[in-house]
Chains A and B, each alone.
Chain A
Amino acid sequence: MNIKQFASDNKSLIGLIILMVLVSIANANFLGVDNMLNILRQTSINAIIAMGMTFVIITAGIDLSVGSILAFAGAVCASLIAADMPLVVALVMTIAVGAALGATSGTIISFFNVQPFIATLVAMTMIRGATLVYTEGRPISTGSFDVAESFYQFGAGYTFGVPNPVIVAAVVFLVCWFVLTHTKLGRYVYAIGGNENVARLSGVNVTAVKISVFAISGALAALAGIILTARLESAQPTAGLGYELDAIAAVVLGGTSLMGGRGRIFGTIIGALIIGVLNNALNIMDVSSYYQQIAKGAVILLAVVVDSRGKANA
């Protein structure tokens, strides 16, 4: 592989490196080990959601319900921990709830032939409402049993000097990468995104695959909700508002096509890191609040334009 080919395949990685060089010139605190771990920890939540979103987007779908699933799952998990449920049981049950919510959207999409945008928009609204009903609009504390302390460590602690959420995100990355590149399910996901009818005629069970990708997205949103709840030792009814947009932005920045059939899980990680670095840089450079949103929009626009120009030339 020559340099030109590498550059064209890894535009988002090069963009991330350029961004990091520019920020480190502007602020000396940026490149410290502590701040790097800090960025990785803050990015892990969006990265975990965005990896699930990558599956959905490769099938040419979209999942707007991830932020609401995150909030609902967080509330469920907080109340399980507050009820002194063993940690593993609480985590597995919460992730199962997320997967079930995602699978429900997937089922509605495939059986009733509803557009994913509409089906998950409905899910986003209803699950947010269910969260408000469940929490009565108030934060749910994880309580004071011993399990609450180990739950806090799960989100806020370190293992071998690496923040636990980063390790969780790394494991999720390895599993997602393996599933997408080395399993039948992965190949079917790409096939459906490339051409759904051809995939169906070739004997792919499109319904099962679609339900699976939304279940994966829901499960990972719930996992992100668990980490967020653990770090704050409480679940917020308004948690995750707008997270679907950050996740979609990460996926697109990573070079995955919204038209489906094309994309890499590694790119999504880079996309999430670009957003994470940008948020961190704006804070540590003390950029005024009124300019921050313009700066974020501009970087995303630049990345997407560069990416689509590259494709037009190829």
Chain B
Amino acid sequence: MKKLLGIAVGTAMLLGTTAHSMAADTMALVVSTLNNPFFVTLKDGAEAKAEEMGYELLVLDSQNDPAKELSNVEDVLNKDIKVLLINPTDSDAVSSSIRAANRKDIPVVTLDRGASRGDVVSHVASDNVLGGEMAGKLIIDTLGGEGKVVELEGVPGTSAARDRGEGFNKAVGASEGIEVVASQPADFDRTKGLNVMENILQAQPEVDAVFAHNDEMALGAIKAVQASGRDIVVVGFDGTSDGVAAVEDGSMLATVAQQAGMIGAIGVMTADKIINGESVESYTPVPLKLVTK
């Protein structure tokens, strides 16, 4: 049995070598937390891709603790890894980890969250601009190209709010029949989504659709819409479990979901290109997916 396994592994490695000049190389993935389904899916996607491409992937869990993250990185840097894939616990705190990898000349790829300092070869994350655009287009199609739309914005100044808003306004700006009658911040918060939507409903006699920069605000807005008895469709963002449940029971039209598994897989593919000496983009956007009923 053991022999058979040995032969199988040997064949696999041999096959791997023919497919990739440097197969069976090791890469490391340091994940912010494995206590959150999103990052577990990200890890699963990376593991599946690594296996498919014949790489060995070391996975370490930072448990949302930047100190643990740094010691994880120090540990893997002492092993013979070719690329460090890191999903930072915090954009600022990760800098010392990245500089440690830079000192050892190990290329770094950041996943989902970026790093504010240190040399990163490539950053792989969801394309929030495109996601906002997808939401805008869905609303245009649903309203038949004509109607009044409200935008509930995230915390002013955050990149998610900026990018999602930019994509959404690009889409609806291109459609002549669609008018954005109000764009107001509700800070990614469900309570504020409710209050701000109530206020907007007071001011606007006619509203046909709402785009919220996240599901929490969308769920708050749905409560305001239901209480008013008006017929307004709501589109959220993130694909949280509450958001997807609202889509399934029909109270929400759609939510734009991030594809965590694909972020992990594209991370591994980017690392593969780096190992093979191919050039990579400094930012690889990962497409999002519309969850509808």
Contact = CB atoms under 8 A, between A and B. Distances in A.
Interface in B210-232: 216, 219-220, 223, 227
26 contacts: A27-B203, A32-B202, A35-B202, A38-B199, A41-B198, A42-B195, A42-B199, A139-B242, A228-B191, A231-B223, A232-B223, A233-B223, A234-B242, A236-B216, A238-B189, A239-B191, A279-B195, A279-B199, A284-B200, A284-B203, A286-B181, A288-B183, A289-B156, A289-B183, A289-B184, A289-B185
B182 interface: yes
A110 interface: no
Nearest to A29: B203
Contacts of B242: 139, 234
B209 interface: no
Contacts of A284: 199-200, 202-203
A232 B156 contact: no
A283 to B, nearest CB: 4
B194 A286 contact: no
Given A42-B198, A139-B190, A284-B203, 11 more contacts: A29-B202, A38-B199, A156-B223, A228-B191, A231-B194, A232-B191, A232-B219, A234-B242, A280-B202, A289-B153, A289-B184
A232 B190 contact: yes
A160 interface: no
A234 B216 CA distance: 11
B120 interface: no
Interface in A80-106: none
Interface in A274-296: 279-280, 283-286, 288-290, 292
Nearest to B241: A138
A283 B152 CA distance: 11
Interface string B157-188: 00000000000000000000000011111000
- Interface size grouping (class) on chain A: 20 to 34
B288 to A, nearest CB: 22
Contacts of A156: 223, 227
Interface residues of B, number: 24
A234 B182 CA distance: 27
Contacts of B271: none
Interface in A284-310: 284-286, 288-290, 292
B286 interface: no
Contact of A290 (B156, B181, B194): B156
B94 interface: no
Given A139-B242, A290-B156, A236 B202 contact: no
A279 B190 CA distance: 16
A282 to B, nearest CB: 8
A133 to B, nearest CB: 13
B220 to A, nearest CB: 7
Interface in A215-253: 228, 231-234, 236, 238-239, 241
Interface of A: 27, 29, 32, 34-35, 38, 41-42, 139, 156, 228, 231-234, 236, 238-239, 241, 279-280, 283-286, 288-290, 292
A238 B156 CA distance: 18
Interface of A is mostly: helix
Nearest to B202: A35
Nearest to A283: B199
Contacts of B235: none
Interface string B114-151: 00000000000000000000000000000000000000
Contacts of B156: 289-290
A233 B196 CA distance: 17
A38 B153 contact: no
Contacts of B223: 156, 231-233
Contacts of B190: 139, 232, 234, 236
A245 to B, nearest CB: 14
A60 B181 CA distance: 46
A279 B189 CA distance: 15
A239 B201 CA distance: 23
A23 to B, nearest CB: 11
Interface centre among B182, B184, B189, B242 (most CB of A within 10 A): B184
A228 B192 CA distance: 11
A292 B199 CA distance: 14
Contacts of A285: 203
A241 B190 CA distance: 12
Contacts of A42: 195, 198-199
Contact of A38 (B185, B202, B219): B202
B62 to A, nearest CB: 17
B67 to A, nearest CB: 19
B189 to A, nearest CB: 7
A32 B203 CA distance: 10
Nearest to A228: B191
B202 A232 contact: no
A46 to B, nearest CB: 11
Given A27-B203, A29-B203, A34-B202, A286 B191 contact: no
A286 B182 contact: yes
Contacts of A238: 189
Nearest to B220: A232
